[in-house]
Amino acid sequence: MERRDFLAASAVTGLGLGVGAGHLPEGVGPRPPRQEGRKILIAGGGFRTEFISYMAELTGRTRPRICYLPTASADRESGIIRFYEYCAPLDVEPHVQESFISSYSQDRSWEEVFLSMDGIVVSGGNTLNQQAIWRAQGIDEVLREAWDRGIVLGGASAGSLCWFEEGTTDSRPREVTKIECLGFLRGSHSPHYDGEAVRRPTYHRMIGSGQLKPGYACDNDAGIYFADNEVARVVKTRAEAKVYYVGLEGGEVVERELPAEMIEGA
């Protein structure tokens, strides 16, 4: 069986790769605290092999443990399979932690699972539901501890929006609206800036009216690495993809493009 096929099959059957129920290999425990600072890597859409590879580099570990947290997609199996496929070319140890669990299958605490990782990739999906589940389960507090410990956090779409104070979401009926999130990163965020026609005008309108704070807009396949709360690097995997800081100048909404560097996978 090819490695790619094995990984995809493992995502369904849980063949020792930490899928679903929080089972980790024997002897896997929390990593020692880091001193390099807090790290978040986001993309407007498309957190695929290239972004996972860059996240792995940011961990500073040899064969880092990368955990996929698909709460926003309701632990959708197809997304879990894709995560393993994206990891297949990389020298990483992939894990998946589902949120829809039971006490009979989840034999480790959220702290034991997430604090044993080097990087955590959050899925896209419904950000509003994600935030509600995280708060109900206490996952939000564990993610903050992970961030403080230097575990690299990241993701695209709901997986990028979730780290900011606020932003635009399609998680409610009828229209794109404002959502308040974890607040690890200051300001607001709009993912899918070039991928969904409603995103740019809605973001402009909300910032212009004062409904949203100024912030960062990312096209699909483009993103930002934040060291603590500062932009450390702007990256992309598609030549046309762009990142902007959107704010107010003289009462007018202004976009300032942040030059992005191309990144590649393994």
Q: What three-state secondary structure class fits 130?
A: helix
Q: Look up residue 85 and give its DSSP letter.
A: H
**Active-site residue identified among 23, 95, 192, 204:** 192
Rounded Cα gap, residues 167 and 190, in angstroms: 6
Reference 218, options 47, 66, 73, 80; nearest CA is 47
**Active-site residue identified among 53, 157, 160, 190:** 157
Cα angle value 224/48/88 (rounded, 5°): 135
157 is catalytic: yes
Backbone angles phi, psi at 142, to 5 degrees: -70, -40
Q: What three-state secondary structure class fits 111?
A: helix
Rounded Cα gap, residues 30 and 239, in angstroms: 38
DSSP states of 85-103 as a string? HHHTTSS-EEEEB-SS--T
Q: What three-state secondary structure class fits 202?
A: helix
192 is catalytic: yes
Q: What three-state secondary structure class fits 87?
A: helix
How many CB atoms are closer than 10 A to CB 91?
11
How many CB atoms are closer than 10 A to CB 122?
29
**Residues noted as catalytic:** 157, 192
